[in-house]
Amino acid sequence: MKIVNYNGFRDAAQKRLPRFIFEYIDGGSYDEHTLRRNVDDFKAVTLRQKVLRDVSNLQLGTRLFGRDMALPVALAPIGIAGFYRRRGETQAVRAAEGAGIPIVLSTMSCCPLEEVRAASARSFWMQLYIIRDRGFMKDFLLRMEKAGIDTLFLTVDLAINGIRYRDRIGGLAGSQSLLKRPDRLLDILSHPAWAWDVGLMGRPLTIGNVAPAMPNGAGLKQFQAWVARNFDPSVTYKDITWLRQHWKGNLVLKGITDPCDAVRAVEEGMDGIVVSNHGGRQLDGSLSSIAALPQVRDAVAGRMTVMLDGGVRSGLDVLRALALGADSILLGRAWAYALAARGEAGVSQMLAILKEELEVAMALTGQNDVRALDSDLALPHP
């Protein structure tokens, strides 16, 4: 099957993955209104078509948090990517490096950060939740420092897990025992390529970064119980103050959609924020990321780096987000589907498609540098 865009990777991933894994990637919270808005609201962003400009030498590169990037794009933190392809995070980091961009490795990755670092030529960025077990957090921060990681993305929009109906019906919620879940066993056996690549050859299928804190096992069953014990709904800026005492690198808050929260982040000395609603997986009915971006950008007023996550499906969407004030974007589901469909080669192909789409969009709007777009490039919403 020839894949030419995001939808092609999604279709290929759906065919290759067991249903319970695909639903975990594909789904959102409640009735998934925000999940759909994240995509639909991008379509309402209209760009001006400007002509007779020299667009023969397009500049796509940028610099964020002291790192040069070939594209204004990074791979977003995606949990349990090792369930999508064999040792998935190591394949993704190689593809990202090949494209000249960083990955933000999830705390909830299957491959521990040391394994991913060994597979990469240079350090990457890291995602973190503040949890109750501060001893584990101190050790984890030291592991990051030892790996040369200098930028930390703290996810702040998951005080508690959102309600995801798809997971409760047939996904990752509930028992993971194949003896108790004959439907799960049948699902796996009907996808033999995945069963061989991931189920057999991709072991250990554990949450590698938190395994040291889980001496009785770090599989999905134990992981769910660990999350229930350790995710802390009482987290406030006082806890970020504690984090600052143990982390001297860049600190970025991921999960900001409210302008007042953005101003507070500036006042608290954060290095950046990510405008994000967790891919529509937390609060359903909230603003889409792209709809929230302009007010957040205005509130920040150039005082910190602003990134966007959620709903980006093409290079054209990347340009739309940049035109509305984002310094860069995070790609989430796009690389998850590409990885599931074709592994490292799929992620590389997806990024090459995205680059070409961005180049064409820039040329047809008369833009030649992603860092210096026309201020009136995006029309106000009708």
- DSSP characters for 291-353? HHHHHHHHHHTTSSEEEEES---SHHHHHHHHHTT-SEEEE-HHHHHHHHHHHHHHHHHHHHH
Residue with tokens 């933190």: 77
CA distance 63 to 8: 30
Does the active-site annotation cover 191? no
- DSSP characters for 76-110? PP-TTGGGTSTTHHHHHHHHHHHHT--BEE-TT-S
Residue pair 328/69 in contact (Cβ under 8 Å)? The answer is: yes
Distance of CA 19 to the CA centre of its chain: 21
Q: Which of 33, 191, 246, 278 is catalytic?
A: 278
Residue pair 110/90 in contact (Cβ under 8 Å)? The answer is: no
- Tally helices (H) and strands (E) across the chain: 15, 10
The 8 Å CB, 24+ separation contacts for 187-194 are 187/18, 187/19, 187/20, 188/18, 190/18, 191/16, 191/17, 191/18, 193/16, 194/16, 194/17, 194/18, 194/21
Q: Phi-psi bin for 215: left (phi > 0), alpha (psi -120 to 50), beta?
A: alpha
Residue with tokens 């379509």: 43
- Token representation of residue 210: 């938190």
Amino acid (one-letter) located at 215: P
Q: What stretch of H or E contains 274?
A: strand 272-275
CA atoms within 13 A on the CB side of 126: 28
Residue pair 156/253 in contact (Cβ under 8 Å)? The answer is: yes
Amino acid (one-letter) located at 281: R
Query: Which are the catalytic amino acids?
Result: 278
